């Protein structure tokens, strides 16, 4: 359990996602209409049975689910993005708003007529101590969605005694949002809608990059700087933040891949070698209250080349960090207009230096 919570924290504050391929398959084709009810639509109901593959095996779903519970982040986002309101979802406890939710999730709940506080709103349960089996069981769901999660085999087995479970499509919060979206779409009988949703969001990302040509030949390092401790973590191409920057047309600096350690989505870097982290843009999350000036003033962290050129792009908003590090088809469109201008500003400064 401790490892799971640590992975979750890394997935938010420092990481992102290493991804393996999505692995769900559908036994039949799907229709394109979206449901706005608390269950999957009548048209989607025609697409069952479906078999969804994940790291713990295969889950056969015989009929359209009518009561869906989700765990972890992203999964509720994706269920909502496909037009279905879950009966239960985890509270957001990092980057959250006053509803223990997120602004992008709340906007979709409102669109679907299920605002938090209303009769149709999902039940929110606390996952501070791990998967909340008791509260999920009370809801008597017929499907539990954990496609993006750090769900362990033991937790998967225990949840499977409550309802059918779509397990993680990649281990420990490393599933790309496209893969979890496809798996969830298939589980809901909405594979076609999921593919369309993926294409739409990917185009938004591509368009944002095309609108800012300076990004096209800009190198980047995605990382996490801790000015209080001098800590540096570097995120690999499998990290969600790195994926986000690459989706804008940017190029990962060669030093990241050169020093990659196995399949890990991140690795630690000695602050004494900060001057070796050569890239046009160094993209990092900072603890709230910390600033770029704190990095520049630090004897070691200030040696990161991008700190001297203006290419150090630091984000201290937990909500924006969550939106990118736990990417979903709802969070990415919400974050784009807020986060891209800072990246462009950093790229332009680095080019001009």
Spans of all domains in the chain: 50-192, 208-352
Q: Kindly tell me if the per-residue pLDDT of 43 is higher than 70.
A: no
Q: What is the pLDDT of residue 301?
A: 94
Q: What is the pLDDT of residue 16?
A: 34
Q: How far apart are the first and last CA of the chain?
A: 47
Q: What is the pLDDT of residue 95?
A: 87
User: Domain 50-192 belongs to what topology?
Assistant: Rossmann fold (3.40.50)
Q: What percent of the chain has pLDDT over 90?
A: 70
Q: For strand 143-145 and strand 68-70, is the pairing parallel, antiparallel, or unpaired?
A: parallel
36 vs 91, which has greater pLDDT? 91
Mean pLDDT across 114-138: 95
Select the CATH number that applies to the domain covering 208-352 from these four: 3.30.460.10, 3.40.50.1980, 1.10.1530.10, 3.90.1150.10. 3.40.50.1980
Question: Confidence class of residue 40 from pLDDT cuts 50, 70 and 90?
Answer: low
Average pLDDT score, the chain: 87
Mean pLDDT across 84-108: 94
Q: What is the pLDDT of residue 315?
A: 87
pLDDT digits 0-9 by tens, 77-87? 999 999 999 99
Mean pLDDT across 294-310: 93
Q: What is the pLDDT of residue 2?
A: 37
Q: Which of 165, 158, 144, 159 is nearest to 67 (CA)?
A: 144
How many CB atoms are closer than 10 A to CB 134?
9
Cα of 181 vs its chain's centroid, Å: 11
Q: Which of 23-27, 293-297, 332-336 has the lowest mean pLDDT?
A: 23-27
pLDDT digits 0-9 by tens, 239-279? 889 999 999 999 999 999 999 887 778 899 999 999 999 99
Q: What is the pLDDT of residue 284?
A: 93
Shared fold status for 50-192 and 208-352: yes
Q: Can you read off the two tokens belonging to residue 189? A: 């009988």
Q: Kindly tell me if the per-residue pLDDT of 31 is higher than 80.
A: no
Question: Peptide bond before 259: cis, by omega within 30 degrees of 0?
Answer: no
- Please check whether residue 183 is in contact with residue 24, taking contact to mean a CB–CB distance below 8 angstroms: yes
């Amino acid at each position: 359990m401790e490892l799971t919570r640590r992975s979750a924290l890394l997935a938010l504050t420092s990481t992102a996602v290493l991804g393996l391929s999505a692995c769900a398959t559908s036994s039949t084709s799907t229709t394109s209409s979206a449901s706005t009810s608390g269950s999957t639509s009548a048209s989607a109901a025609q697409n069952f049975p479906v078999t969804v593959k994940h790291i713990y095996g295969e889950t056969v779903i015989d009929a359209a689910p009518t009561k869906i519970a989700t765990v972890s982040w992203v999964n509720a986002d994706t269920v909502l993005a496909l037009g279905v309101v879950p009966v239960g979802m985890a509270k957001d406890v990092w980057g959250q708003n006053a509803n223990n939710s997120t602004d992008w999730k709340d906007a979709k709940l409102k669109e679907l007529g299920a605002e938090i506080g209303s009769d149709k709103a999902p039940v929110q349960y606390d996952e501070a101590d791990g998967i909340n089996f008791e509260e999920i069981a009370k809801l008597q769901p017929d499907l539990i969605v954990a496609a993006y999660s750090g769900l362990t085999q033991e937790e998967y087995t225990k949840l499977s005694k409550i309802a059918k479970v779509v397990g993680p499509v990649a281990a420990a919060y490393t599933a790309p949002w496209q893969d979890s979206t496809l798996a969830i779409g298939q589980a809901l009988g909405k594979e076609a809608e999921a593919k369309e949703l993926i294409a739409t969001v990917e185009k938004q990302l591509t368009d944002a990059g095309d609108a800012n040509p300076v990004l096209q030949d800009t190198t980047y390092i995605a990382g996490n700087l801790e000015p209080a401790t001098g800590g540096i973590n570097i995120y690999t191409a499998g990290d969600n933040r790195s994926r986000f920057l690459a989706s804008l047309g940017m190029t990962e600096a060669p030093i990241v891949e050169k020093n990659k350690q196995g399949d890990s989505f991140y690795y630690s870097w000695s602050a004494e070698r900060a001057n070796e982290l050569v890239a046009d843009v160094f993209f990092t999350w900072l603890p709230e209250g910390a600033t770029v000036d704190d990095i520049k003033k630090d004897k070691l962290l200030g040696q990161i080349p991008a700190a001297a050129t203006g290419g150090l792009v630091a984000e201290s908003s937990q909500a924006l960090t969550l939106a990118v590090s736990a990417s979903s088809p709802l969070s990415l469109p919400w974050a784009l207009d807020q986060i891209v201008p800072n990246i462009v500003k950093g790229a332009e400064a680095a080019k001009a230096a």
